[in-house]
Amino acid sequence: MLDLTWVLGGPFAAMQLADLGAQVIKIEPPEGEYSRTVPPHFFQGDSTYYLSINRNKLSLVLDLKRREGLRVLYDLAKKADVLMSAFSPEATRRLKIDYPRLRRVNPRLIVANLIAFDSKGAWRDRPGFDSIIQAMSGIMSLTGEAGGPPARAGFHVADQTAGLYLATGILAALMSRERTGRGQRVEVSLLDGLVASLTILAQNYLHSGEVPGPGGNRNPLVPPVGAYRTSDGKWVIFSITTEKFWHGLCRALGHPEWIADPRFATAKARLTHAKTLYALCEETFEKLSQADALARLQQEQVPAGPVQRVDEVLAHPLTRSREMLVTVKHPSGDQLTLLGNPVKFSGAPRLRYTAPPQLGQDTATILGGLLGYSGRRIRKLWDSGVTRPAATRG
């Protein structure tokens, strides 16, 4: 795989496939990909932003604005299965890495494009980033407290959602090629990815015409599901998707009489009297510590959990036992801790991880080994500035 993407959505998609065993070559301009420079935190000269989305890859420096650089890319494309980019359609055409050109170079190549909005029409070349996509997709209108301002999700949900869709599309295209022998173009837009994620809320609107709004920490469809503050200032959240769980909640909170209360006896009744039910639950949880509340809910087999900060999540025993934290050796020799991949296999070897590469770390190996360029040709490319050998960023 040739990864020409930058910042987040594309590199995130490429990393998923790299984790699963694809040989991913990250192709960067001579100055390095932008995410290497994002403040505030750095490790051995590279931003921790970059480190979070580029493990298990090789790094090749290549100036695609130079004719010689483009020629090298085409040589790689002849051998590649997939080429990914995240430029606007016009930039892709201008750089001469659009699908019609690449298809002539290698008819079996899968060309995967991550775009902001559309590849045609008025929105074709408009730039779009995560916050803009969250706003336009309706996500911000659903996030936050009722009556409050729209709020963005606390992480890059548009980029990462689109990245997962792109990785899925690439796998499907590769399967198709096994049957047909032909490559094709795969396109995912950031906006489409979040619109598709509206699922239940969109379907409810299409059926009823009722426009959903923010519910804060509450589930507007299943009261009294929500996050509740406990006596020690911590928070607990639970879910009651069945009557069994509702009955368990009533017993856990010391109010078995709620089970037969006509205001709460059915899911429809609880929805009608949601305001009253939420107030009763808040009053009850305020008298319990987080540990006591969770113990009671667990005893009654009610799905529940603590609302955790990032540091608490990363220290949780489950995070370790599920191998969601992995340690790798950085090219500098230092140890580096990264997040792991959530996919687990029973019939395959355990996933292996390598550190995100330093800029140009594998340039000589790729040009000399994969492409068979002579040392003289590689030095000529270095001297001309089309590529560069490995160099530690300071």
134: which residues sit within 8 A by CB, 6+ positions away?
A: 140, 152, 153, 157, 158, 194
Find the mean pLDDT for residues 183-211: 96
**Beta bridge partners of residue 79, listed in sequence order:** none
Considering the chain, what is the average pLDDT of its residues? 95
pLDDT value at residue 392: 46
Give dist(CA 55, CA 80) in Å, integer: 20
pLDDT band at 118 (very low <50, low <70, confident <90, very high): very high
| Cα dihedral 81→85→89→95 (10° resolution) | -90
Tens of pLDDT, residue by residue over 335-369, are 999 999 999 999 877 899 999 999 999 999 999 99
Q: What percent of the chain stands above pLDDT 90?
A: 93
pLDDT value at residue 71: 97
* Assigned token pair, 249: 């909640």
Tens of pLDDT, residue by residue over 9-22, are 999 999 999 999 99
pLDDT band at 389 (very low <50, low <70, confident <90, very high): confident
80: which residues sit within 8 A by CB, 6+ positions away?
A: 1, 2, 106, 109
Tens of pLDDT, residue by residue over 209-247, are 999 999 888 888 899 999 999 999 999 999 998 999 999
pLDDT value at residue 349: 79
By three-state DSSP, how is residue 104 classified? helix
pLDDT band at 394 (very low <50, low <70, confident <90, very high): very low
Question: Are 29 and 61 within 8 A, CB to CB?
Answer: yes
Which class does domain 227-314 fall in?
Answer: alpha beta
pLDDT value at residue 388: 87
2-196+326-384: which CATH architecture?
3-Layer(aba) Sandwich (3.40)
Taking the model in full, what pTM does it have?
Answer: 0.93
pLDDT value at residue 391: 64
| Domain residue ranges in the chain | 2-196+326-384, 227-314
pLDDT value at residue 266: 95
Question: Are 158 and 4 within 8 A, CB to CB?
Answer: no
Quick one: DSSP state of residue 192?
A: H
For 13-63, list the strands marked E by DSSP: 24-28, 42-43, 46-47, 57-61
Q: How far is CA 108 from the centre of its chain?
A: 28
DSSP structure string for 105-169: H-TT-EEEEEESS-SSGGGTT----HHHHHHHTTHHHHSS-TTS-----SS-HHHHHHHHHHHHH
Alpha-carbon Rg for the chain, nearest whole angstrom, is 25
Tens of pLDDT, residue by residue over 246-301, are 999 999 999 999 999 999 999 999 999 999 999 999 999 999 999 999 999 999 99
Catalytic residues: 159
